[in-house]
Chain A
């Protein structure tokens, strides 16, 4: 089945630690995105990548880093510089079909202890 796999589903981190969230897709979509969602809030864009080896900052990139070495993979690292990292993180892809259709992974919930 085609889709987006995010791992881990739940992650606990101590303050001061970096963590990396995985996002893998087999949809053959060029563009990939990371969004952050806080309770009762909308989705805010962290980083996005339209092609391999290229990515751009979104609205809340501070304290985060990404890489795009393969079309299928777009990992997100939450660094210790991110002051309030506890949130629900969603990875998505866009197939450029004309309609504004993002396909989302199941998400990773990060909790800082």
Chain B
């Protein structure tokens, strides 16, 4: 099966940079995704890494190292609105079109 580990909570101040780590175990690898979820809302897709390296999308970047089964989400120039939960996810190891999610990291941004 698949399993993903993330820190449960991270705190930071406005304007800072924060990194949310994710380690995964999966029998087959089909990419690592990141989702953001505000309290009471639906998760929304942030980024996807299929190959090693850094993907940048505005203030958010995501990194993947397949050899280490590790990835991270980097949030720069933090804003209060970035306070949310962040989930990493991998596709089912059998290749079926379904995602397995980590338990999420709650990011609290303070003034």
Listed in ascending order, the chain A residues whose CB lies under 8 Å from chain B are: 31, 33, 35, 40-45, 48, 50, 58, 90, 94, 96, 99-107
In the complex, what residues of B have CB within 8 A of residue A41's CB?
103-104
Query: When A41-B103, A101-B33 are in contact, do A58 and B42 touch as well, CB less than 8 Å?
Result: no
| Complex Cα spacing A50 to B100, Å | 16
How near does chain B come to A43, taking the closest CB pair, in angstroms?
Answer: 4
5 extra A-B contacts, CB within 8 A, seeds A96-B97, A101-B45: A33-B98, A42-B104, A99-B50, A100-B33, A102-B99
Chain B interface extent, by class: 20 to 34
- CA–CA, A102 to B102, complex, Å? 15
Identify the B interface with A (CB < 8 A).
30-31, 33, 35, 41-45, 48, 50, 87, 89-91, 97-104, 106
A42 close to B103 (CB less than 8 A) = yes
Cα(A42)–Cα(B34), bound, Å: 12
How would you classify the secondary structure of chain A's contact residues: helix, strand, loop or mixed?
strand
One of A45, A58, A100 near B31 (C-beta < 8 A)? A100
Which residues from chain A contact B98 at a C-beta distance below 8 Å? 33, 45, 48, 58
Q: Which residues in B have their C-beta under 8 angstroms from that of A99?
A: 31, 33, 45, 48, 50
Q: Please, how many angstroms separate the alpha-carbon atoms of A105 and B37 in the complex? A: 12
Find chain B residues with CB under 8 A from A31 CB.
Answer: 97
Q: Flag if B44 contacts A42 (CB, 8 Å).
A: no
Task: Rank and list the top 5 A-B pairs by shortest CB-CB distance, nearest first.
Answer: A104-B42, A99-B48, A42-B103, A100-B33, A42-B101
Closest A residue by C-beta to B104 = A42
B44 engages A100 (CB within 8 Å) = no
